[in-house]
Amino acid sequence: MNREGGCLCGEISYSFNSNAVISASHCHCTDCRKSTGSGKATIIMIQDSSLVINGEIKYFSVTGTDGAVVSRGFCEKCGSPLISKIEGMEGIKLIKAGGLNDSSWVKIDSNFWGDSAENWSPADLTVHTFKKNPIQ
Ligand SMILES: [Zn+2]
Ligand SMILES: [Zn+2]
């Protein structure tokens, strides 16, 4: 079945097949904290072959701690963070769970960057917690 999401203003929407979902994680890294304005980013990793995007996503690229360039996509009009991609991980996209129209099916299976979680947004240690980035 299709999973659908989009930004707050409605300018950008997307869909992907539920079979494309690889994992769901909270990321507590400083860059995710800054870019979301919250304690963590909640990220659904998918294979992007079924991903369809309507509207033009803007990307802000930054080199992460591990040296890979992370491009975080957002709506230029309303600022909603939507979809990210990582250099060297072709065919993979990272969907911000909060942008999904129905996110009730999301089940978190790990935390990234547990070492940098803030006191006010601690890592949920009931799931596997990587101290830093699991992709290194
Ligand atoms: Zn928007
Ligand atoms: Zn992060």
Shortest-distance ligand to the CA of residue 75: 1
pTM of the model: 0.94
Q: First-to-last CA distance in the chain?
A: 32
Tell how far the Cα of 44 is from the centroid of ligand 2, in angstroms: 12
Region 108-130: mean pLDDT is 96
Tell how far the Cα of 113 is from the centroid of ligand 2, in angstroms: 7
Position 135 confidence tier, pLDDT thresholds 50, 70, 90 = low
Region 73-77: mean pLDDT is 98
pLDDT tens digits for 52-68?
Answer: 999 999 999 999 877 88
Position 123 confidence tier, pLDDT thresholds 50, 70, 90 = very high
96 pLDDT more than 60: yes
Kindly state the DSSP code that residue 100 receives in the 8-state scheme.
Answer: B
Other Cβ atoms less than 10 A from the Cβ of 1: the count is 7
Superfamily the domain 2-129 falls into: glutathione-dependent formaldehyde- activating enzyme (gfa) (3.90.1590.10)
Region 35-58: mean pLDDT is 97
Tell how far the Cα of 73 is from the centroid of ligand 1, in angstroms: 11
Is the Cα torsion angle 82, 107, 114, 40 positive or negative in sign? Answer: positive
Tell how far the Cα of 86 is from the centroid of ligand 2, in angstroms: 11
Tell how far the Cα of 6 is from the centroid of ligand 1, in angstroms: 8
